Amino acid sequence: MSGSYPFTVDPWSIGLSGIDTSQLMHRESVFALSNGHIGWRGNLDEGDPRGIPGTYLNGVFEEYPMPYAEDGYGYPEDGQHVINVSNGQILRLLLDDEPFDVRRGTLARHDQRLDFRAGTLHRHVEWTSPAGRAVRVRSTRLVSLSHRSVAAVRYEVEAMDAPVTATVQSELVANEAIPDAHPEARVQRTVDAPLDGVEHVVLGSAATLVHRTRTSGQGIAVTMDHRVATSGSTDPDVGTEVSADLARTTISVRLEPGERLEIVKFIGHEWADGVSVAGLRDRAEGAVADAVRDGWNGLAEQQRARLDEYWACADVRVDGEPKLQQAVRFALFHIFQAAARAELRSVPGKGLTGAGYDGHTFWDFEAFVLPVLTSTAPHAAEQALRWRHSTLDHARRRARLLGLAGAAFPWRTIDGRESSGYWPASTIAFHLNADIAFAALHYVRATGDRAFERDAGLEILVETARLWMSLGHHDADGRFHIDGVTGPDEYSAMVDDNVYTNLMARLNLDGAAATARRHPDVADTLGVGPDEIDQWAATASAMTVPFDAARQIHPQFAGFTDKQHWDFDGTSPDQYPLQEHFPYFDLYRKQVVKQADLVLALYLAGDAFTATEKERAFAYYEALTVRDSSLSAAVQAVIAAEVGHLELAADYLAETATIDLHDLHENTDAGLHLASLAGIWLALTAGFGGMRDSENGLRFAPRLPSQLTRIAFGVRIGGQTLHLDITPAATVYLLSDGPTRSIRHFDETLVLSPGHPTTVPTPPLPAVGPRPTQPPSRAPRGFTAAFAD
């Protein structure tokens, strides 16, 4: 995104004045509303102009045969792509015979504002038609956190200085044309108009469209109903018509100056496998009837109450840069929205804010987003992990197909089946299985949720442990190796003994062993006996962790540090991202890093490294890392902070915080990057808070960079909340009700009593070496510059 920061800076909302039609796609992502079940992009009420129309239902997708130029054993047969379902956002307005369109007439005011506490998107427009009719239009929309299937819009039209006939066409539209939904022409055809109408009906004032996706065969029912009022003397005319792909309620009224028409539109969205058309229709109508009973005010109050509850635990206070404060809450709001009511569905990489990445979920959900949810919305974290657990049968079948034991979770998927089309960067990125296992272990430590551990967590751990046992092998010296895998860095592939993968597999095996020993009865039902547990523990101990003794550096994988260095001096700034300008083979065979890999190991498996090793490794990999992935900056912030480069950490935090708001990767149009939004939280809590979680408990090492005067946040520990209030000189720890808890503050153990703040000073910063350098043109922009615009 070029130009200065377009948004109004406010601690609890994000607003925009005026409208730039060339930026619509970006704004629609920023202003998207969701509850994890429904996603509404921030399209304009009147439907035109439009960037990318988007109404998504979590789990609804179309499938298509995956195209391969050359087929291979084990290649997934079917691809999945999230689809735009029947769109209930549309409220077209006509003033006399003139359609309201922001591109015509005179727009005296156009304000939009996403309110993080109210959970609503507001819009305020003052517009004079080419014929001279002036109106004020105010709309507020919400996707309900309390009614899972419901979205609602309050839409007001006020005549300003002359009488006008206001006509509103409120619609449900199926099979809207979507521009460039997919770069591959065949997939585009598949997801173009993917809905077959199976029923359309008006019952009372409510209209319902029922469709079925053409290939995946999923049934979807969407109902709308309206409550209409006017402050004027004339009663509005209201009528509803319906056809296969269109339901329309037309509301028309004569308004004198100062008179208002108020419409509340309630939309219910239902889908399920194995439910009849009549059943879906009735569920959608029932959801709307419920919402109508609560009314707009009821929905809005429930929305605020649910968010008050969330923020009480989730809020992060950051003093020193108002745009950063706004970015943190923007991020936390979207993360919560994405997962709140997902309830045994996956959470896509873009949430439900766009169709980017085909609507798929990836490993970064568990590695980046889930820790945030675990501390801020643990019920949503649990549901997300239980969704993974529910897909174990798919993962077991995938493992078997690959000749492996246990379960191999999919690299990218909507419903749990592997949908990746390029195996060197997907199938063999087996680390995702350990990432899921690690998220489950962390969730249990943070929440103390033993029911989850017994019901779901243990089985995830057991099946992933079995995967590692079959994937790796012991050498003649008894060391365990994992060959032919791809780590997090996508500029390497098919490598042996990737340090991140091996260390995470070790945590996975140890975690499986410890958990199985804690629940021998459940383990027994999974066929796990003492011998298997002992093998896991022994294999974890025998895990190879390559080390380049000559350079005193952990190589990203065996042999990495011996490879040729990428010719950074010969690479021009416009040749980034590298993958768009160089063939994979050339990236793969040289020392160049797309995103934190060894550095991610320094964070998530930090106990495996000494402080000196971390410092040296960080500097080494900084010089190789180009951050062509949005996942990298946050992790670099975390380790920069740990090794004492606080200003560099602040620069990376600033980059992470602006990835979507400044559209740094030029693809926020297709949806927000949930993982880099989560990265803001990670950079603050794990970076400047120094928070590390392991089986040895929670540890903090809080230090602020010069630009920040205070960071305050809460995390979970054994089901209690631990609140930190960090200032440059000291940190105040406050534990919520429950037993006492031990944590570490730097190298000191603190025993915290609930309700009693404990204040501890920040130790002096040890001497640090020179600031590590990045490849030419790849240094972060800098904290000040990032927020200066």
Q: Which residues are catalytic?
A: 490
Q: Which of 422, 759, 761, 769 binds a second copy (CB under 8 A)?
A: 422
Task: Tell me the closest approach of the beta carbon of residue 576 to a second copy, in angstroms.
Answer: 13
Q: Which of 199, 262, 319, 586 binds a second copy (CB under 8 A)?
A: 586
Q: Binding segment for a second copy among 248-256, 364-372, 578-586, 641-649 (CB under 8 A)?
A: 578-586
Cβ 559 vs Cβ 496: under 8 Å: yes
For a second copy, the closer of residues 282 and 586 by Cβ is 586
Residue 183 touching a second copy (CB under 8 A) = yes
Cα–Cα dist 670/218, whole Å: 23
Taking the C-alpha atoms of residue 513 and residue 347, their distance in angstroms, rounded to an integer, is 28
Nearer to a second copy, 178 or 493 (CB): 493
For a second copy, the closer CB: 563 or 781: 563
In the complex, the smallest distance separating the C-beta of residue 580 from a second copy, rounded to whole angstroms, is 6
Q: Is 754 left (phi over 0), alpha (psi -120 to 50) or beta?
A: beta
Min CB(475)–a second copy separation in Å: 9
* Region at 583 (left for phi over 0; alpha for psi -120 to 50; beta for the rest): beta
Torsion of CA 325, 331, 335, 337, to 10 degrees: 80
What are 536's two structure tokens?
């896991």
Residue 402 makes contact with a second copy by CB under 8 A = yes
Residue 26 Cβ vs a second copy, minimum distance, rounded to whole Å: 24
Size of the site for a second copy (CB under 8 A): 48
Identify the CA nearest to 102 among candidates 200, 19, 24, 165: 19
Contact 652, 634 (CB under 8 A): yes
Residue 374 vs 571, nearer CB to a second copy: 571
Among 361, 420, 464, 498, binds a second copy (CB under 8 A): 420
Compute CA 17 distance to the chain's CA centroid, rounded to the nearest angstrom: 26
Q: Hey, what's the torsion of the CAs at 240, 243, 245, 251, to 10 degrees?
A: -10
CB of 360 to a second copy, least distance (A): 12
**362 or 423: whose CB is closer to a second copy?**
423
Listed in sequence order, the residues at least 6 apart from 596 whose beta carbon sits closer than 8 Å to its beta carbon are 488, 489, 603, 621, 625, 631, 632, 635, 636, 639
Distance CA(395)–CA(467), nearest Å, equals 10
Tokens of 330: 């923007």
Least distance from a second copy to the Cβ atom of residue 425, Å:
8
- Considering only 152, 267, 493, 512, the residue that binds a second copy (CB under 8 A) is 493
* C-beta atoms surrounding 725 within 10 Å: 18
| Structural contact between residues 398 and 454, judged by C-beta atoms closer than 8 angstroms | no
Is residue 363 within 8 A of residue 370, CB to CB? The reply is no
Task: Examine residue 527 and tell whether it contacts a second copy (CB under 8 A).
Answer: no
Of 66, 174, 367, 593, which one interacts with a second copy (CB under 8 A)?
A: 66
The residue (of 422 and 541) whose beta carbon lies closer to a second copy is 422
- Judged by CB under 8 A, the stretch of 397-405, 435-443, 459-467, 758-766 that binds a second copy is 397-405
Q: What is the smallest separation between the CB atom of 539 and a second copy, expressed in angstroms?
A: 15
Residues 454-483 that bind a second copy (CB under 8 A): 473, 481, 483
Give the ranges where 131-211 is alpha helix by DSSP (H). Answer: 185-191
427 contributes a contact to a second copy by CB under 8 A: yes
- If the CB atoms of residues 450 and 589 are measured against a second copy, the closer one turns out to be 589
Among the residue ranges 523-531, 558-566, 615-623, 648-656, the one whose residues contact a second copy (CB under 8 A): 558-566
Query: Would you put residue 344 in left (φ > 0), alpha (ψ -120 to 50) or beta?
Result: left
**Closest CB 428 distance from a second copy, rounded Å:** 5
Region for 667 from its dihedrals, namely left if φ exceeds 0, alpha if ψ lies in -120 to 50, beta otherwise = alpha
For position 111 contacting a second copy by CB under 8 A, the verdict is: no
The letter for the amino acid at 215 is T
Residues 125-154 that bind a second copy (CB under 8 A): none
| Binder among 17, 276, 564, 742 for a second copy (CB under 8 A) | 564
Query: Up-side HSE of residue 319: CA atoms within 13 Å toward CB?
Result: 8
The answer to whether 585 contacts a second copy (rule: CB under 8 A) is: yes
Nearest distance, CB of residue 424 and a second copy, angstroms: 7
Binding site residues, a second copy, CB under 8 A: 65-75, 79, 183-186, 401-403, 420-424, 427-428, 473, 481, 483-485, 493-494, 496, 559, 563-564, 579-586, 588-590
